[in-house]
């Protein structure tokens, strides 16, 4: 039996075409850490041997751990130095992804709050990256609608701390902040099937 599910989160999104420059900057700023991780990986007999270049240019699948920009260049010893970046590239036909930015930009390049809640359908995108706020419990629709948990300014400051060193100089953080909504169909086991399995 299939059932429809919907998830809505406050998030910072990065489109595929924007990601290459950001990733290039990330590599440049964290070369020592990445080289160290590659050496550790090569010492692990359970991992396949890859060159340093192959290790550096691995695609993010699912999720990856990145160093916060304020710690760029460190060896990344403690958990608070990291944040998680998620990649969406598996596009089942039954899933939809809709992004409602907090900030809208009109045809003349003027930015303002998205009072009309204009949405952007990203269901057909080849790859999309997103980063959740640090306070995961606050990253939900109730918090997003009420605006009581995070202001756009505090979110912007948080993502500057996470990504500032890696972003191009003209990158508009605010227009990448908003609510990301996932709607998908998921197979769930029927009660009878579960009972038969127990027998």
User: Which residues 6+ apart lie within 8 Å of 139 measured at CB?
Assistant: 9, 10, 11, 132, 133
pLDDT band at 10 (very low <50, low <70, confident <90, very high): confident
Question: Other C-beta atoms within 10 Å of 34: how many?
Answer: 17
* pLDDT (tens digit per residue) in 148-165: 556 777 888 899 999 999
HSE at residue 27, side-chain half, CA atoms within 13 A, is: 14
* pLDDT (tens digit per residue) in 30-82: 888 888 888 887 887 777 788 888 888 888 888 889 999 999 988 767 888 99
pLDDT of residue 39: 86
* pLDDT (tens digit per residue) in 180-194: 888 877 777 766 555
- Report domain extents, the chain: 2-198
Q: Tell me how far apart the terminal alpha carbons of the chain are, to the nearest angstrom.
A: 21
């Amino acid at each position: 039996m299939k059932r429809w599910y919907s998830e809505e989160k406050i998030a910072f999104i990065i489109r595929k075409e924007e990601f290459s420059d950001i990733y290039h900057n990330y590599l440049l700023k964290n070369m020592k850490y990445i080289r160290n991780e590659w050496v550790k990986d090569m010492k692990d007999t359970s991992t396949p041997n890859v060159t340093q270049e192959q290790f550096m240019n691995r695609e993010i699948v699912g999720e990856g751990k990145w160093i916060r920009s304020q710690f760029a260049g460190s060896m990344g010893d403690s958990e608070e130095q990291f944040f998680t970046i998620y990649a969406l590239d598996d596009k089942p036909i039954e899933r939809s992804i809709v992004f409602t930015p907090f900030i809208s930009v009109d045809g003349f390049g003027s930015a303002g709050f998205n009072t009309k809640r204009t949405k952007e359908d990203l269901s057909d995108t080849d790859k999309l990256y997103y980063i959740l706020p640090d306070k995961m419990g606050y990253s939900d629709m109730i918090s997003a609608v009420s605006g009581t948990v995070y202001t756009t300014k505090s979110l912007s400051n948080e993502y500057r701390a996470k990504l500032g060193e890696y972003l191009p100089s003209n990158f508009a953080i605010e227009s990448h902040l908003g609510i990301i909504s996932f709607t998908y169909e998921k197979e769930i086991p029927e009660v009878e099937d579960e009972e038969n399995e127990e027998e």
